[in-house]
């Protein structure tokens, strides 16, 4: 996959504004419902009096979009707001929405947030001694690792799965651990997990969520499911 900025030195980048955004084609999977939630923890801008303001921004991009934004380019773009003055947060949201939508050709959601939803109650996959997961419960696997396919740097996450049927615990643990040296972007990893589970087991309701650790002040959290109404929202294991 060819990218404009990932794996390149920032000082060689000459673009500015929305031209910093690098739209890359999304590999379309046969998954009906999903979204990618980006949390931007260090979004700085200037208010109307040119005083710096630091906030947390949430960007939600539908998984059905033809394009997605490469993460380094998103960071460069959002970091460019640090010396720009705006009259209101509404003005900022409108600009970010318009800039990103012009690149990926899909409607997105953007908002400022003050807190995260609490982590849902879950069945601890890592430490369970059972043979099967309980049906209709949220399952959590802590310590997921994958590799960026461009930089070869590791990414870490907790994986949350809702299943309306039981899953063999030994098989599921081994499968999730097998990603430790797998090269794939966050979105691709979650889609692969979803597809594998769906192909292995007969579900009526399945939803997979990856809560990835932040990099460069941003985390990306893909959700893929069988239902339009998602169980997983923008929660965190700890709020900080």
76 close to 20: Cβ distance less than 8 angstroms:
yes
Tell me which residues are annotated as active site. 148, 155
**CA–CA separation, 224 and 192 (whole Å):** 10
**CA–CA separation, 33 and 122 (whole Å):** 22
- Please state the φ and ψ torsions of residue 163, each to the nearest 5 degrees: -135, 135
Say if residue 130 is exposed, middle or buried (CB neighbours under 10 Å; 0-12, 13-18, 19+): exposed
Q: Say if strands 33-46 and 109-113 run parallel, antiparallel, or are unpaired.
A: unpaired
Which of 187, 152, 159, 163 lies closest to 175 in space, CA to CA?
Answer: 159
**CA–CA separation, 60 and 180 (whole Å):** 27
């Amino acid at each position: 996959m060819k990218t404009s900025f990932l794996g390149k030195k920032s000082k060689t980048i000459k673009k500015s504004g929305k031209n910093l955004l690098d739209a890359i084609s999304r590999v379309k999977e046969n998954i009906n419902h999903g979204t990618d939630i980006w949390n931007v923890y260090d979004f700085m801008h200037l208010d109307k009096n040119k005083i710096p303001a630091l906030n947390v921004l949430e960007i939600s991009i539908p998984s059905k979009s033809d394009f997605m934004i490469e993460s380094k380019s998103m960071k460069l773009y959002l970091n460019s707001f640090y010396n720009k003055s705006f009259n209101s947060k509404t003005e900022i949201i409108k600009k970010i929405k318009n800039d990103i939508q012009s690149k990926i050709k899909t409607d997105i959601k953007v908002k400022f947030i003050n807190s995260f939803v609490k982590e849902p109650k879950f069945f601890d996959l890592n430490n369970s001694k059972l043979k099967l997961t309980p049906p209709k419960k949220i399952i959590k696997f802590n310590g997921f690792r994958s590799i960026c396919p461009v930089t070869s740097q590791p990414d870490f996450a907790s994986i949350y799965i809702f299943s309306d049927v039981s899953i063999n615990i030994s098989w599921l643990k081994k499968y999730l651990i097998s990603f430790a040296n797998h090269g794939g972007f966050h979105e691709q990893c979650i889609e692969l997990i979803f597809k594998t589970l769906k192909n292995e087991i007969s579900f009526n309701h399945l939803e997979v969520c990856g809560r990835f650790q932040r990099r460069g002040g941003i985390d990306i959290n893909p959700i893929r499911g069988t239902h339009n109404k998602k169980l997983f929202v923008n929660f965190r294991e700890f709020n900080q």
